Chains A and B, each alone.
Chain A
Amino acid sequence: MKTQTEPSARLSSATAPSGLVQQSDVHISFRNVSVSYGPVMALREVNLEVCRGEILGIIGPANSGKSTLLKCINRTIDFVPNARVTGQVLIDGQDVLKLRNVYALRRRIGMVFPLPVGLPLSVYENVAYAPRRAGVRQRHELDAIVERCLRQAMLWDEVKERLDILGTKLSGGQQQRLTLARALSLDPEILCLDEFSIAIDPVTTMRIEDILRELKQQVTIVLVTNLVQQARRLADRTAFFMAGRLVEVGSTETIFEHPQCELTRRYVVGDFG
C-alpha cells in the first residue's frame, strides 16, 4: 500500500513534474522511524525525505502521527513521558536522536503550534527571547533581529509603536504571527508548522501562507495541516499519513491529481477525515 517515488532528478522551487528527489538535496531524512506511546504505536516504520528549500505538506486524518513526526525532528518527543523512538532521523546526515546537545538542535529549528502562544513578556522580549538565551547581548543586535523577524512575520507595522505591550494581550492572529517571529528569530534552517491555522482567522491564515511562500527559498518548511486545500496551495511535495504509516508521498500535483493509492484519492477528495 505504501509507495515512494524514485530518487533521480533535481528539484527546483517550482513544483517539479514528478516530485523526484536527489540525494544532495536531502535535508531531513527519516529512516525506519517508529514511535510508541506506551502500548500505542504512533508512527510505524516511516521512511521519508525532506528536501532543502521546499515546502513539504503532511496531510492525514486525526491520530495519524503527523504531530509526532514533527516532534521527532526537534527532539521535543523527549518531553512526552513514555515515548519510545526507534530508527534514525538525519538532519544533514547527522542522527539527531543520538545528539547530546539537543538545545543547539532546537535552535536550528523553528516550531509553530496549533494554539497561538504569546509569552508573558513584552513583544520585543518575546522575539528577543531565543537570541538572548543563545548569548546575544548587544542591544543593537537584538533590535535588528527583532525588527527583521517582526517584518518577516508581517507584524511589524501593527506593533512597532508599542513593542513593550505584553505578548499575551495580542489577538489570536497577532499571537500566531508573534510565534512565527519567535520561530524565525534564530534564523533557522528548518521551520515546522503544526496545524497553525486552526485557531486563527482566515485573513491571518492567508498572510501567513504568503510569508511561508516567501520564506521557502531560505528555509525548509515542513507543514502539517488538516486542511487539504492548504497543502494544495502551499506544498511542493505532499505526504499522506494514516494510522501512523506513510501511505504515499509525491509532488503535490501527483498526489492531488493522480494519486497512486486509492486511500489517498479518497482522502484528498474528502471521502473521510
Chain B
Amino acid sequence: MPELCYRVAWRRQQGEFQAGEAFASFAEAAAALWAWQPQSETSVPSAQNPACTNAVEIWCCRQGEEAGVAPRPQYRFIVYGKVGGGGGNGSEAAPWWGVGEAIKGLVELHRSGVIALQPGQRLRLCHREIFATSAGQKRKACAENIARMVFLAMSLMLVLPVAAILIYLIIKGWPALSISFLLENPQQRMTAGGIWAPLVGTFFLVLLSLLVAAPIGILAGVYLNEYARDNWLTRIINLGVVNLAGVPSIVHALFGVGVIMFLAELKRKYGVWVPFYDRCLLAASCTLAVMTLPVIITSTREALASVPMSFREACWNMGATRWQTIRTIVLPNSISGILTGVILQVSRAAGETAPILLTGAVFSVPVPDHGWRAFVPYGLHDRCMALSMHLYTISTQVVNVPEHVEYGTAVVLIGLVLVVNSVSIGLRVYLRLRKKW
C-alpha cells in the first residue's frame, strides 16, 4: 500500500491554494501549521464571507503522486481567536480559540480516528469572524431567497397573463374603436355600427341605481358606525351586509323577477299603485342598487371610522346632538372616503349583467339616431339595452358579428370600468395627502 503523505496548503483571500511540503504523518503536518501562524491578527486565516477566504488546509495524497484533491474539504474546523477560555472542538458552535489549540485538537482527533483522511481528501482550518454566516445561516438565506422568488413568481403569474390578455383584446379590438363607434347605434342586426344605445342604457341604469343605493347605503353606514352599539343585533346586521355582498348575482335577478311578479299581482288584484310591474329600466336599476348596496355601506363605515373619536366627544360636550355632530363634523370630513365608495358602486353596477338580464335589459331596443330622444331613449318603464348585456349578446347570440366589433365592445366595457375604478383609487390617494389632522 503506497504511503500516504500529508501536504499543508494555504491561500490568501479567494486565491488558489498553494501546497507546500509533504509530510509523512498527520501529526507532523499539523505541527507545521505553526509555521504558517502569522505575526499579526489581520493576516490570520480568516473568513469574511460565507466562503472562507484565508484558510489553511491539510491535503492527503499518495506518496509520489501530485496532489489532486477534492474541490471541497471533507472536514472543516473553525478557529476563533477572540473567544476567551478553552474548550471547543473546532466546530462552528464551539471553535478552537487559537491555532495552538487547533493543532492539538486536530492531532487528537486524528489519533482517535475521527479524522480519517483518504487520499484525495482535504481538511480545512479557517478563522471565523464574529459576523460570518454559519452554514445554517447560509441555508436560511438560501431558503429565503427561494421563497421570495416563488412568491414573486406567484404574483407575476397573476398579473402578467391578465396584462397579456388585456393587450390582446386591445389589439384585436383596435380597428373598431373610434368616436363613431361610441356614438352610432347598432345596425344591421348588430353586425355593424356602434354601441350608442347600450352605452346610454348603461348610463341610465347606473345613474338610477346610484340614486337608490347611495342614500340608503350612506345612512346605513352612518348607523353602523355612529349609532349602533356593540351587541348581538349589530353583529347580525354586519352579517347581513357580508351576506348581501355574497349573494350570487343570478339570485339577485331572481329576487328582481320575484318582486316584479309580486307587484304585478298586487296591481292586478287590488289596483294599488306600484313603482313597477314588469321588466323595465326601473326594476333593473333597483335590482342593481340592492346588489351594490354593501359596497357603499362598507366604504362609508371605513370613512366614518377614520374620523377620530375626540372630535365627536368635543362636540357632544358642547351640547350638540348626535345628528348635529354627524352633520357638521363627521360627514364633511369623511365625504371623500364616502365618494370613493360611491364611485366603486358605479363601476360595479356598470359591469354587471346577470341582475339586469331578466329584470329589464333586453336584446335590442330601437333607439333614434338623432334628436334629444337619442340622449334619453328609455323611459322608466321601458326595456333598455345595456353595454354588458350587449357584449354577451353579440358574442353568444348573434352570428356574423365581425370580430373586431366584439373585441371593441369588450375593450370599451373594460375601459369604462377601469377608468371609473382608477378615479376611485386616485381619489383615495389624493385624500391621504390632504389630511386635515
Contacts and interface: CB of A to CB of B under 8 A. Distances in A.
Interface string A91-121: 0000000000001111100010101010111
Given A107-B319, A130-B319, A81 B314 contact: no
The residue in B318, B319, B437 that gathers the most chain A C-beta atoms within 10 A of its C-beta is B318
B329 interface: yes
Contacts of B314: 113, 117, 119, 179, 182
A130 B437 CA distance: 21
B319 A103 contact: yes
B397 interface: no
Contacts of B319: 103-107, 130, 133-134, 186
Given A113-B314, A166-B436, A130 B320 contact: yes
Contact of B318 (A79, A107, A121): A107
A260 interface: no
B329 A119 contact: yes
A81 B230 CA distance: 9
A133 B317 contact: no
Given A119-B311, A166-B436, A106 B328 contact: no
Interface in B417-437: 436-437
A129 interface: yes
Interface in A68-106: 74, 76, 79, 81, 103-106
Contacts of B310: 113, 115, 117
B318 A129 contact: yes
A130 B318 contact: yes
Residue from B230, B328, B333 with most neighbouring chain A CB atoms (10 Å) = B328
A47 interface: no
A104 B315 CA distance: 13
A205 interface: no
A246 to B, nearest CB: 24
A81 B227 CA distance: 12
A113 B436 CA distance: 21
B329 A120 contact: yes
A182 B318 contact: yes
A3 to B, nearest CB: 32
B313 interface: yes
B230 to A, nearest CB: 7
Contacts of B329: 119-121
B436 A168 contact: yes
Contacts of B311: 117, 119-120
A74 B317 contact: yes
B36 interface: no
Interface in B312-326: 313-321, 324
Contacts of A168: 436-437
Contacts of A130: 318-320
Contacts of A134: 319
A79 B333 CA distance: 22
A219 to B, nearest CB: 15
Given A119-B329, A120-B437, A76 B229 contact: no
Interface string B176-211: 000000000000000000000000000000000000
Tell me the interface secondary structure of chain A in the complex. helix
Nearest to A111: B317
Given A115-B310, A119-B329, A168-B436, A129 B317 contact: no
Contacts of B321: 103
Interface string B283-315: 000000000000000000000000000110111
Given A81-B229, A113-B313, A117-B310, A129 B436 contact: no
Given A81-B229, A119-B329, A106 B437 contact: no
Contact of A103 (B229, B320, B328): B320
Contact of A106 (B229, B317, B333): B317
A106 B318 contact: yes
A130 B329 CA distance: 12
A102 to B, nearest CB: 8
Nearest to B231: A81
Interface in A226-268: none
A93 to B, nearest CB: 21
B315 A106 contact: no
A210 to B, nearest CB: 23
B310 to A, nearest CB: 5
A103 B324 CA distance: 11
Interface string A160-181: 0000001010000000000100
A103 B321 CA distance: 7
A119 B317 CA distance: 13
A84 to B, nearest CB: 15
Contacts of B317: 74, 76, 106, 111, 113
A104 B319 CA distance: 7
B297 to A, nearest CB: 23
A178 to B, nearest CB: 10
A186 B436 CA distance: 26
Contacts of A185: 318
A135 to B, nearest CB: 11
Contacts of A107: 318-319
Contacts of B230: 81
A179 B310 CA distance: 12
Interface in A106-150: 106-107, 111, 113, 115, 117, 119-121, 129-130, 133-134
Nearest to B307: A120
A76 B319 CA distance: 10
Contact of B436 (A103, A120, A183): A120
Given A103-B320, A120-B437, A166-B436, A129 B315 contact: yes
Given A113-B310, A168-B436, A179-B314, 8 more contacts: A104-B319, A106-B316, A106-B319, A121-B329, A133-B319, A133-B328, A182-B314, A186-B318
12 contacts: A74-B317, A103-B321, A104-B319, A106-B316, A107-B318, A115-B310, A119-B315, A119-B329, A120-B437, A130-B318, A133-B324, A186-B318
